[in-house]
Chain A
Amino acid sequence: MPPFRDEHILIIAPGSQTTLAQLGLPESFTPASHRFPTRMFPAPDGKTYEPYKIRSRKKEVVINGGDVEMGGTVEPKMAEEGDEELIELPEDDEGAIYPLKEGRIDNMPAFWAFLQHVHNTLSPTLHTPIMLIAQPSWTAKNHEDLTAFLFEQFKTPALCIMDSALATSYAFGIANATIIDVGFGKIDVTAVTDFQISGRGTVPHSGGEAMTQRLMKLLKAKNFTRDMAEQLKRSPVCEILPPGTPLPGTDVKEEAAVISNPAAAASTGATSSGPSVRITEVPHVPVLDMEVGEDDDAFDDKQIEDDGVLDVASIVTSGKIQEVLARREKEKAEKEKLKQARKEKRDAEKAEAAAAAARPARLPNSKRPRAIFHYEEIIKDTPDAKRQKTPEPTPAAPAASETAVASEANPADSAAAAAVPESEPAPIEDEAARREQQKAARKEERRKNREEENPERIRRDIEIGIERFQAADEGYLDAVADTIYRTILSVDDISKRQDAWDALVICGSGSKVRGFKEALLTTLNNRYLVSPSSATMFMSELPSNLATPSGTGSQTPNASFTPHAPPTASAVNPLLLAATTASNPALNPNLSVTSYNGTHSHSSHSQSPTSIKVASPPGYFPELKLYEEAVFLGSQVAAKVIFVVDQGLSKGFLSRVEFNEEGPTAIHQVGLVF
């Protein structure tokens, strides 16, 4: 078999909503070249799947009886025998089938069809090894089925299926980490030790979608559609406040309930959740400010910019980088969304900024009881208009479930997400007339710009109260925190648990919601952090010093102390003795060496976590954006190592020859899945 080359490697990383794919490894690793919405549509024949919505329509025949309402009841075909033609509607997501639900493979044939679509789009050569990134919830059978499919359909010479959490840890280059992947409908928590998966947990019915649903529920009175809630979640006004933070405008009682203990903060560097210790000003990163200054939306963004990093920042200094990154990320997204509109409106913006500066007090977002968010919706042609323009009688789609109709699409797509026309929510009332005017002017201009590009896009301003802080309630954060705690505790090697606590990686699109990471870290710190006890001034450090982690070695010093030797061995304090002889066990007469075979000795004995930290991304990849999708970066690293560097010496992938000999189950023996 000739060696694999960089440009031949195909990487596919499926997610419940978006699938990342790329053919070939570039010189320097980049974000994925292709993004596919992970959805398929039933083909008109009812058996196969198509990547785009297909509707049949009659040529040149106008039918008024056809019904294109959602949930498409399939009506008997009309009597007209006009020629039917099939059209593809790439933007439409009505009746879509999402093969992955909460990461699980829900519909395998559709998923196969989807992989086929990805494969066809990238059209790799025959000598293309495939790296498939697996979701943690895929079963062993799923792996086998996919292996069989990929070998039989794509005739691939080699396949590697790699767990997504593992790929993330590759991207960060951290051997012991806890990967918290906030996905669309679930949060996967995976503990990785020595680049091996050693603990798994899932929070079902969570992730970004649960936040959207909750916002929708809270704002039901305002006639919020799912799409509006989704956009609100992505907007900077939506924020998750760390637990214990009083909601603006509510009673201060809550605040009083929080005990803050300055002594603790002093001794551990940890902060209690008391609002008194909050840092309200964040050191600004100059680059950010410049960008924001240029940003068209600075009117809103600026206010938010001033909003301090909440008290978590003081605990998680390393997390600050991430936080800033996340913020920058958000702004970038925002910028992209408005790129077209920006230039023409700079003047208007400047006036706006001046007006904003003139306002007496600017509170950070988290202190303001109400905030405005800009909602963009796409007005589809009303059914009537549609029928006149493009008559589409019986759509072939089966009844669409509600989730299928609602699309989350990929983040870049957010603006394009389709919405059903809805009745206008309550208009803004308490805005100053001046601002109103300006806004109107701005809106007008914006709309004009937009209409050039997309005549159906409309932007509205909606005022939101404190609901915007409640996308994730306490129960939600508790469940995530508990899962993290449980997952790390399920790591067998007790000495590795602290390492896993010290390198939390919070990734996935759902984690981009403002304040999510901080709130989660605060919850973890509040509930689980073990502080050094006053009972062990220096004792607790000693045993861990003494015991080296070891599985089987008979040379290993036995656990912390051994009373085998007569206690008269020395009158010296055993701790002192242990401390002085820790580096050289032979000196310590109290240390016995176990003689019988394979006896286990606990290597370390301590409770964890004594600290909780967020892993900082390595600095060697200039493209910072990558870390939002660290999975893909990691899969490129792994693909390079497995296919190009290692060439199969360490059985990193399953080759076609092996597959033919051993069948799909051979996938379990290779690669980096488990």
Chain B
Amino acid sequence: MAAQTLNSSMQPTDVYGGDEVSAIVLDPGYSSVRAGFAGEDAPKSFVNSHYGATPDGRLIFGDNAIHNPQANLEIRNPMSKEGIVEDWDTATSLWEYAITSRLTSFKQADPRHNGLNDDNKDLEMEMEAVEEGEKALEEHPLLMTETAWNSVKNRERSIEIAMESWGCPAFWLARNCVMAAFGSGKATALVVDVGASTASVIGIHDGLILKKSVQRSNLGGNWLSSQLRSLFASQDPKVELIPHYMIASKTPVDAGAPAQAIYRKYEKEPSESFRALEEERVLTEFKESVVQVWSGPGRLNSMNATGSNNLDYARSQPGRVFEFPDGANQMWGVERLTVAEGMWDEKAALPVPNEQPGTKMTIPEMVKASISAVDMDLRAHLLQNIVVTGGTTLVNGFTDRLNNELMAMYPGARIKIQAAGLTAERRFGSWIGGSILGSLGTFHQMWISKAEYQEFGASVVEKRCK
């Protein structure tokens, strides 16, 4: 067989000799981790933040593995309810999985110095290659995002992981709201970001967060899920939320009729947390296909111009049918509007213990508080640049309602809402902004290099990444 070595003397003269490596952008969130190369239009790697822990302590990552009801998994999430990291060790492994499963691989280094093709290299070099091979990101600068309310300690921890565990040559920590604004092509904007665990409204001026304007609440996707559970419980008869894995087969039944399904038996019942994860998948589908925000004008239970109640009008509208995994189905009429109304009108929220929104927590109130916290001169500018991002904003009617609420709140002001049309762009807004930033030539001078980190330590991140 012909030689398959890459001997340097044999290399053609016109071979590519550049060393351009694209940065990796990592955007961790409560429900998913997005990772990909800077300069691309969507993250190549999209990993569920939930992970499974087996009884013998192994951790299982990724959607492909965690939905197995037979694996006896305990489902956890390394992120806290506020969208910041709680369990650093697991978060590190999870991110590592997100990066290595689709972007880079740990094992194989460059053929020119992985030791395998070099006949004449001495042992020392090979050892070095092996050592290098252990680190995930030795070739790629890393741009990571964080929430606006991340703690100093957490920020320092991020750079430590990037530099020490992953061997990144350069690092940058960016606020995800700023990135979302960049993703929409704006340096000054009011970012309305409704994700899974939190909803936030943040004013940004020239790429910097206006600290006073940071408003956040828990009225995100998870809150909506518990509203849905509350709605299901209040139905008559009660709607049972049974995830797919418990069903062997279902039989079509009439709307509202009790389900007729054959249930799957498991030797060992999957854990509660596993069930919760699987239920969440059903709720996600429900949100996608049924839930809708009353798009205004006015609130759902307020009077409209003609003197009748909006609720009455909504009742006259056609409902939507949803079939649950066990085959039970029913028509959701006005309920599909009321369930999301609590995001806009705290009085309309369905009763859920410990999750009752306060008066200042609804989205219009947060926008109001945020706007009034910034300088007078900036307000008009921000209102003209409202960026809507985050997966929960995809609930039907969200932007219409936001527009109507703001028009009512600021009559006469020019209000312009920027919301990406494509689902992916809305969900990955902050990642896309990071991708844009990471690929800019001018940004390359801003990276915190490994040398700087070694000189100043982890506190450098606090000085540099404002």
Contact = CB atoms under 8 A, between A and B. Distances in A.
Contacts of A492: 422-424, 427
Contacts, number: 247
A482 B44 contact: no
Contacts of B2: 116, 120
Interface stretch (B155-163, B208-216, B254-262, B429-437): B254-262
Nearest to A144: B104
B421 A140 contact: no
Interface residues of B, number: 100
B445 interface: no
Contacts of A109: 108, 111, 114, 116-117
B323 A533 contact: yes
A105 B260 CA distance: 46
Given A600-B420, A664-B16, A536 B100 contact: no
Nearest to A113: B4
B226 interface: no
Given A540-B321, A600-B419, A665-B21, A152 B12 contact: yes
B6 A600 contact: no
B56 interface: no
A105 B108 CA distance: 10
Given A140-B104, A564-B295, A539 B313 contact: no
B63 A51 contact: no
A527 interface: yes
B354 interface: no
B5 A48 contact: yes
A607 B16 contact: no
Interface in B308-354: 308, 310, 313-314, 316-323, 325, 327, 329-331
Contacts of A489: 281, 285
Interface in A326-369: none
B304 interface: yes
B396 interface: yes
Interface in A600-655: 600-602, 605-607
Interface stretch (B65-73, B88-96, B166-174, B358-366): B65-73
B1 A660 contact: no
Interface string B276-319: 00000100010011101011110000001110101001101111
B64 interface: yes
A139 B320 contact: no
Nearest to B255: A535
Interface stretch (B188-196, B242-250, B457-465): B242-250
Given A139-B100, A479-B68, A598-B419, A534 B254 contact: yes
B444 interface: no
Interface stretch (B144-152, B233-241, B397-405): B397-405
Given A533-B323, A574-B317, A600 B423 contact: yes
Contacts of B356: none
A660 B11 CA distance: 13
B18 interface: yes
Interface string B27-44: 000000000010010001
Contact of B318 (A268, A528, A575, A664): A575
A454 interface: no
A674 B419 contact: no
Interface string A521-560: 0000011101101111001101100000001100000111
Contact of B423 (A141, A493, A531, A533): A493
Interface string A35-65: 0000000000001111100000000000000
Contact of B6 (A152, A530, A597): A152
B22 interface: yes
A87 to B, nearest CB: 15
Contacts of B100: 139
A566 interface: yes
A564 B314 CA distance: 11
B12 A259 contact: no
Nearest to A664: B16
Given A140-B104, A259-B251, A267-B252, A607 B285 contact: yes
Contacts of B327: 531
B103 interface: yes
Q: Which of A478, A564, A600, A660 has the most CB of B within 10 A?
A: A600
Interface in A468-524: 474-475, 478-479, 482-483, 485-486, 489, 492-494
A527 B247 contact: yes
B4 A536 contact: no
B320 A140 contact: no
Contact of A141 (B103, B304, B418): B103
Contact of A486 (B12, B63, B295, B322): B63
A273 B249 contact: yes
Contacts of A668: 37, 40
Given A201-B64, A660-B15, A596 B417 contact: yes
15 contacts: A47-B116, A49-B4, A139-B104, A140-B44, A140-B104, A152-B15, A153-B6, A527-B249, A527-B250, A530-B323, A559-B396, A561-B318, A567-B308, A600-B422, A661-B16
Given A479-B68, A494-B288, A527-B249, 8 more contacts: A117-B1, A264-B251, A474-B264, A482-B67, A483-B64, A539-B319, A607-B321, A607-B322
Interface of A: 47-51, 105, 108-109, 112-113, 116-117, 120, 139-142, 145, 148-149, 151-153, 155, 201-204, 243-244, 257-259, 261, 263-264, 267-268, 270, 272-273, 474-475, 478-479, 482-483, 485-486, 489, 492-494, 526-528, 530-531, 533-536, 539-540, 542-543, 551-552, 558-564, 566-568, 574-575, 594, 596-602, 605-607, 659-665, 668, 674
